[in-house]
Structure 1
């Protein structure tokens, strides 16, 4: 009961400080010409670093040997989701930007406020689910013995760390990117969101590239024998598609940014555009990065998550989800 009490205290504190961090700490001027004045003392980079460190610690704890540490990791993941939900409900809604966004560049832009609502609600639901799961895990006493490499039945420690680190970063990167894309030009904190969004995007690309290289060294665990042939094909197709989309998203973002004449941020560093600005290049690559890839990725990711939950809760195939969890 003591663990439960402190979990609730942590959630309340997090919900209380998140709006302040989002609305006060992220504060700088973004010029219409593509130049940007960074936050004093590079606070935007520190915010990005805090998100990255929290994601890595969460992934590590979720796959720790100790059951208490794994419970703590699940609760950290819960708090990460709840932080995203708190940021949306307590800060984003208060800005008035959803009602008065940047003028639409395409008809799909009009869907972004609704998309942010969905992301906020999903983050809230995921946070509450993980919180309950973490509390339940606190009563377990079974150690988790994992090999470094994958074995025939489940993923090893390295694959799991790469997977969950990427997942936690993705949870933050996508809503911030969606919100940044509708913030009107000249809004004081607009560029700060791009600093965090692009920094995390670079790291997601690095993590995915690392995982692809790691996959060449160690084979993926076999799918559960209870799966039907069509389910096996779908699982494999979704898995490959996720890799492709998650790699393509930061790459197209980088190319689009360069064609736009803007720098690519990575913490305190700025990589200048690698080629001359081009309106055509911006439109073409922006079509992929801002519209086509995200929406297809949402559908694919949703299928991935729903498929895992179906196998675990409906089909009663516990080994399916235990390949990556527990």
Structure 2
């Protein structure tokens, strides 16, 4: 009869065996036996126990033989070390602080994970508090359906043309695209694709598209402008052509305020101190008038260093504001 101590020893060995199989795709039987301090026969017996528990462990053919932990048809129990468990909790808590179905699924997964964590790790997880802060009046939070993300990702990986309905305002319009990348930026999902009808690159918000089935033919991917998807998305969302992540309009001014007062309100700019009450600010925007308006909010004297287009934008705004200030009959 197997003793309680012997059963605990077997259970500990199974956990150690599972951890070894998770850290490297293929493990030889001799390597596993040596690391566990048992015979190859015991390893074969323990592999059988893992299979009975639902772990898809397959045998690897070769001179030494070995084993591989493959993906199965159902999710078996998982094993994480302390660092992995805390990292997973942080990721889930961050995702749960968002909105939509993904946030709801992350919250449920976080609850499940917390129930099985040891007290020491549960305490570390509970110390982390994440609150999603959005600008006042932001009702347009990302509520992308996870099934939409899966469908878009599948089309990207398969390099298959995609038919989708894109919601623009209150109307939905059909589009035919070649999907290239699915990206997330500041809590929102975007699909980067080549629009076949418009013959140009487009960025679609994932929460505004509805993929259709079936997908279209396979395509050969074309090079993305600039070659960097992060820079392309940032540049396009800033109003540029995507070849650079920089703002399409960038100017330099001297402001009559200390650099310490300007820097917190110019996170994308470069602030240089010129004295106790003066600083030079380099800032970008999607248009010259937009840049001039952004610089006006510092409520101080502005000296334009360049370029001339920024000075012209100030003149345009000055005339516009002067007209707005005139009393109407």
TM-score, structure 1 length as denominator?
0.21
In proportion to residue count, which structure has more strand? 2
Structure with higher Rg: it is 2
Greater helix percent: which structure?
1
